[in-house]
Chain A
Amino acid sequence: MKENPAPSLEYILHEFDQCVDLIHRKFPLLAADILYFDHLIDKNELEREILQPFANVQADEMGPLLSGSPFNASFNSKEIVLGILKGDAAIFHDSCVYLVALYGPSNRSIEQSETETVIIGPHDAFTESAFTNLSLIRRKLRSSHLKVIQLSVGEVVKSDVFVLFIEGIVNMEYVNEMIKRIRDIEVDIISDSNMLVQHIDDYPNTIFPLFLTTERPDVIVSKLSGGRLVVIMDESPSVISGPTSLFEFFMSPDDYYQHWVIGTATRILRYIAFVITITFTAIYVSITTYHYEMIPENLLYTLIESRSRVPFPPVFEALLMEITIELLREAGARLPSKIGQTIGIVGGIVIGQAAVQAGLTSNILIIAVALSAIASFVIPSYVMSASIRFVRFFLIILAGIWGNFGLMIGISVIVIHLTKLTSLGSSYITPIAPLKVNDWRDIFIRGPFWMLKDRPSQSRTRNKVRNKMKR
């Protein structure tokens, strides 16, 4: 069989052999056949665009009718098959084929994001439909400079991928690199943008996310205007932005909607939470195992008392509790929210009280573990929060082996690792590693708007100034 034979009804029907959900409508009077999937199209559209015009014409008027809108002639079998799969109706008439876009299955409506909530500011979030997502972005970013490039990934299933950027602000090298990476993907199927990210990132073996994924249009709009590019994938509510630095994962749109002092305070709080998550349990382990000298006198008594009933060394004690907390979290995430509350109570009472009374753990460890778990949820990005919760285990084990020395080794390894990482070829810890002190006022603090004059340096934009106001 030829690679791409001339389109014919027989061939297309043969392609869709054994597809009972394909509808084949015949109009013998008009010598026309229509093929479509009933569940992919909008029935009203079909009525208005095809059935009514067909009922009102004679056989000899078909030619002029089909030459007009919305009928698009197609001469490529592959395109026709893809079109039908995308929700088009294919009209076969007189050895010509015409496609009519009738896509219309209902989407999830625009709702609030479950993973990234804000207190004030817009509450809408992306949905699974790429076009809804595009409309959400266009509504917030009314500019003809916002360009959209369509690509597709997947060998078996072609998923639509859109690369968005603002012409004149973005550095085109990033766009070209991104397009090249997406085109290079040769996988049978990619079903979500979080999978796509793992195919296009610079270091597939790192546990840190190298691209920001978000469900919030306002975040995406600010990334676009900051000179970054954005990738939308159809059928996925997460939208990718890049190039990304580590510190972007600690920002929340709330920082900008609130007064800058409050925004700065919350941002600093998040960095403190980051340090607590990574090190707190590990410090407990290293101090109780090796460095009894470091304990303040008043704490010493209570610490000895609570430790004295525990039969395990501190490392095992800590790992036990950390794994329990992770179990609780994972169970809570998988269960329906009504049962999830039960998990909270079981976890809170059973783990908190009974474990101490049974002498399995010390109550100071419970505080340490709970605090670092809570601190990990302060980080706005779920992906990043999962990463640093994983890193914590690595540090706890090192602290159990070498004490504070091991802790320092672990932290050094993390810092070295972070220094190596790149996102789209730009350094992952940008305002620190290529030292850009100018950027710090929008990274470590949320400076007042009069201070935020320039776009982030990681965007490598030529159009640096974003704020020309004198004050």
Chain B
Amino acid sequence: MRDLQLKRFVWLLVILGVVVSQTGCARSQRILEKLAINHTLGYDLDDDKQLYVTAAIINQGEGGSEVKQELISTEADSSKEAKIKLSRQTSRSIVNGQIRNTMYSIDVAREGIRKLIENLVRDPSISPRVKITIVNGSVKELLESKFPDHPNTSQYVDHLLQKNWKNQNIPQVNVYQFARDYLEDGVDPVAPVVRKKGDSVVVDGLGLFRDDKYVGKLSPDYNMLFAMTRGKYRQGEIYIKLDQEKLDGSVMLGTVSSDKKFNVRRKRNGGFIVELFLQVKGDIMEYSGKVPLDNPKDIRVIENGISAYISGKIEKMVNIMQEKRSDNVGLGKQVRNRLSYAEWKRLNWEKVYPEVTFRCIVHTKIKSSGEILEIPPQSSEK
């Protein structure tokens, strides 16, 4: 019994030895400090309309100096060719497993980024959560620029997007969501646009795509409203300028939450009417107008003002999209849901879309207007 066990154990050792020597264990190793870890990939077009790839790499200098960002760039026909060309420029092997962000200049995005995204999706070491960002200007220039308060530019941009997405200033756009919106019928993808502004980077608005091609952008004012049309909206903040008659000043709503519902109706002549019902709730954080806040009736006036403002803005936003013939809100998806498959297939949505009538009906509710309703003006007599 014991001899048998010993024999088996010896065999196990032999097999283990063979397996270890056969796998050639050293080759597949990716030891951390010997890697050039890609953090951000940037795509530009150079003057000859050639793809110009810039990689921001997490790299430490030789002999244990501080870990820094290193930029290497090359001209290439495709992103994979770029990888080979880039690896000539570094002493370490380039790996993609830690990519956080991919940046495309507007020029590249105008040409269509389907092929580039496809490569990201195909590589299993690249996470589907890699962000997609459009840069207003040159990507290389943005990555090269030094921001005094943020030593690591690529990380800075990544964190900036992350934070803005958490605050719901911009929609979360990553490879997975972009590819899904691109492939789905009746909705077109979006991506945030950033721009260098002095000593910092700012979110410059929302890039609108038709299929995989960039067609234009919305100004940052629409960020919040776009988020409301796309999904449930929680814990946001919104700043509204009221300029109807009787109402003046501006309102800042905090802890805003919204809920949406679409309704699709057919027109007699065959077109569609899409209605968006929006429920917005929030607290007044700041108000600079003259309406006294201690009267529920007057609050209703403010609520109506806010409703009018939001619905007007959203309708305007959809009009901009319709002009550019990109269906980023996903009206097509709503229409598709009301139609049978055959009907939808027969419909040439591209053509119908610009003719769709869009209406937005907003119902605003102000939950509270603060602890102190109004600080009375100090009388001068005392």
Contacts and interface: CB of A to CB of B under 8 A. Distances in A.
A292 B97 contact: yes
Contact of A292 (B2, B35, B65, B155): B35
A309 B31 contact: no
Contact of A401 (B6, B20, B64, B155): B20
Interface string B220-236: 00000000000000000
B151 to A, nearest CB: 11
A292 B28 contact: no
A204 B20 CA distance: 28
Interface string A42-79: 00000000000000000000000000000000000000
B58 A359 contact: no
B58 A289 contact: no
Contacts of B127: 293
A172 B360 CA distance: 83
Nearest to A310: B33
Nearest to A204: B2
Given A309-B64, A401-B20, A304 B29 contact: no
A289 B64 contact: no
A302 B37 CA distance: 14
Contacts of A297: 98, 100, 155
Contacts of A289: 29-32
A304 B20 contact: no
A247 interface: no
A307 B28 CA distance: 19
Given A292-B98, A297-B155, A305 B32 contact: no
Interface residues of A, number: 26
Contacts of A287: 32
Given A297-B100, A300-B58, A307 B67 contact: no
Given A205-B5, A297-B155, A309-B63, A304 B98 contact: no
B48 interface: no
Nearest to B61: A308
A227 interface: no
Contacts of A307: 31-33
Interface string A351-366: 0000000010000000
Contacts of A290: 28-30
Contact of B32 (A204, A304, A401, A402): A304
Interface string A277-309: 000000000011110110101001111110111
A301 B58 contact: yes
A293 B98 CA distance: 5
Contacts of B28: 290
B342 interface: no
Interface in B154-171: 155
Interface string A330-349: 00000000000000000000
A201 B20 CA distance: 33
A402 B127 CA distance: 22
Contacts of A205: 2, 5-6, 9
B32 A303 contact: yes
Contact of B25 (A292, A304, A308, A402): A402
Contact of A308 (B2, B23, B60): B60
A401 B60 contact: no
B245 interface: no
Interface residues of B, number: 29
B257 to A, nearest CB: 30
A226 interface: no
B47 interface: no
Contacts of A293: 97-98, 125, 127
Contacts of A402: 23, 25
A300 B33 contact: no
B66 interface: yes
A308 B64 CA distance: 5
Nearest to A359: B64
B95 interface: yes
A305 B97 contact: no
Contacts of B29: 289-290, 313
Nearest to A305: B67
Interface string B25-63: 100111111010100000000000000000000101001
Interface in B56-100: 58, 60, 63-67, 95, 97-98, 100
A358 B6 CA distance: 43
Contacts of B63: 308-309
B14 to A, nearest CB: 16
A304 B33 contact: yes
B33 A308 contact: yes
A431 interface: no
Contacts of A237: none
Contacts of A401: 20, 23, 25
Tell which of B20, B100, B127 has the most Cβ of chain A within 10 Å.
B20
Nearest to B125: A293
Interface in B271-299: none
B253 to A, nearest CB: 33
A314 interface: yes
Interface in A247-295: 287-290, 292-293, 295
Interface string B252-273: 0000000000000000000000
Contacts of B65: 308
B277 to A, nearest CB: 41
Interface string A418-435: 000000000000000000
Contacts of B58: 300-301, 304
The 6 closest A-B pairs by CB, nearest first: A293-B97, A309-B64, A307-B33, A308-B33, A288-B32, A308-B64
Given A293-B127, A307-B31, A402-B25, 9 more contacts: A204-B2, A289-B29, A293-B97, A295-B32, A297-B98, A301-B58, A304-B32, A308-B33, A309-B63
14 contacts: A205-B5, A205-B9, A288-B31, A289-B32, A292-B98, A295-B32, A300-B98, A301-B67, A304-B33, A304-B37, A307-B32, A308-B65, A313-B29, A400-B25
Interface of B: 2, 5-6, 9, 20, 23, 25, 28-33, 35, 37, 58, 60, 63-67, 95, 97-98, 100, 125, 127, 155
